[in-house]
Amino acid sequence: MGQTVFAPAEPSLFGLPDQTGGAPVPVIELRGVTRIYSTGRLEVAALRGVDLDVWQGDFLAIVGPSGSGKSTMMNILGCLDRPTAGSYRLGGTPIEQLSDDDLAAVRGRAIGFVFQSFNLLPRTSALDNVATPLLYQGVSRKERYARAKAALERLGLGERLHHEPSELSGGQQQRVAIARALVTEPALILADEPTGNLDSQSGNDVIELLHELNAAGTTIVLITHDLDVAQAARRQVHVRDGLLLS
């Protein structure tokens, strides 16, 4: 194993205003992040003061049992949700300063998501599923389809461009979802239990793909309850009852 050298985030990485004065900053910096869900009379503290730094080029697994707060963490890291307390800096910018529209733009431009249940559009071809994120970035139709096709070919699905999700195996559907996550060339990929619905061979293929993306420079955060899957990452942090134990 070679020495791992993690790079600081480039100021332009997320297209956010540089508030760092050019100093090296992590891609992700959580400080005291808390998330409390209030449902009627009940309050659930899903995260209870989480500190975490992730540098560019890292491949981190967040490991913990069901109910420990992993998906809550993924939603916050992916700017789909905001902390109840604490701070989250993404590429050096405090996200609490950004509007929901700004966050949606950052998400679309800089973060790729892979979910356990694939989350593909039904009755929609693989090609259209992968091309869709580019629509929101104003990419021309011709370029959208060229890039979607290239992404699917890269994942070995060149013969399945016009298949709909119901016509594909689970492993193939997850590869379509990975093609969709990488077609925008995101700085960060967040994968929540990406192998959870796959047989072991397809799961290994997905992990192998994440390694290839990481080798090409993409920062990856992999969330899983499975210790074997977590071992595939370069480093692991453990989450228990909303707290990180590293």
Binding site for ligand ADP (CB under 6 A): 37, 39, 44, 46, 64, 66-72
Q: Which is nearer to Mg ion, 70 or 144 (CB)?
A: 70
Shortest distance, position 80 Cβ to Mg ion, whole Å: 13
Q: Which is nearer to ligand ADP, 71 or 219 (CB)?
A: 71
| 175, 155 Cβ separation under 8 angstroms | yes
The CA distances from residue 138 to 27, 67, 104, 108, 134, in Å, are: 25, 38, 15, 11, 7
Q: In the beta sheet, which residues pair with residue 29?
A: 53, 89
Taking CB under 5 A as the criterion, the residue among 68, 71, 72, 174 binding Mg ion is 71
| 222, 59 Cβ separation under 8 angstroms | yes
Q: Which is nearer to Mg ion, 61 or 134 (CB)?
A: 61
Q: Name which of ligand ADP, Mg ion, none residue 64 binds, using a CB cut-off of 5 to 8 Å depending on partner kind.
A: ligand ADP
Shortest distance, position 225 Cβ to ligand ADP, whole Å: 7
Cα–Cα distance measured from residue 54 to residue 6, given in angstroms and rounded to the nearest whole number: 9
Whose CA is closest to 163, among 214, 201, 121, 198?
121
Shortest distance, position 105 Cβ to Mg ion, whole Å: 26
Q: Which is nearer to ligand ADP, 5 or 42 (CB)?
A: 42
Shortest distance, position 138 Cβ to Mg ion, whole Å: 33
Instruction: Return the number of other C-beta atoms located less than 10 Å from residue 240's C-beta.
Output: 13
Shortest distance, position 104 Cβ to ligand ADP, whole Å: 20
Shortest distance, position 44 Cβ to ligand ADP, whole Å: 4
219 binds Mg ion (CB under 5 A): no
100 exposure class (CB count in 10 Å sphere: 0-12, 13-18, 19+): exposed
Residue nearest to Mg ion (CB): 71
195 binds Mg ion (CB under 5 A): no
Q: Name which of Mg ion, ligand ADP, none residue 69 binds, using a CB cut-off of 5 to 8 Å depending on partner kind.
A: ligand ADP
By CB under 5 A, which span of 5-13, 52-60, 64-72, 177-185 interacts with Mg ion?
64-72
In the 8-state DSSP scheme, what is residue 56?
B
Angle at 77 between CA 71 and CA 81, to 5 degrees: 75
Task: Tell how strand 59-63 and strand 219-224 pair up.
Answer: parallel
Shortest distance, position 170 Cβ to ligand ADP, whole Å: 20
Query: Dihedral sign, CA of 133, 134, 138, 141?
Result: negative
183 exposure class (CB count in 10 Å sphere: 0-12, 13-18, 19+): buried
Contact positions vs Mg ion (CB under 5 A): 70-71
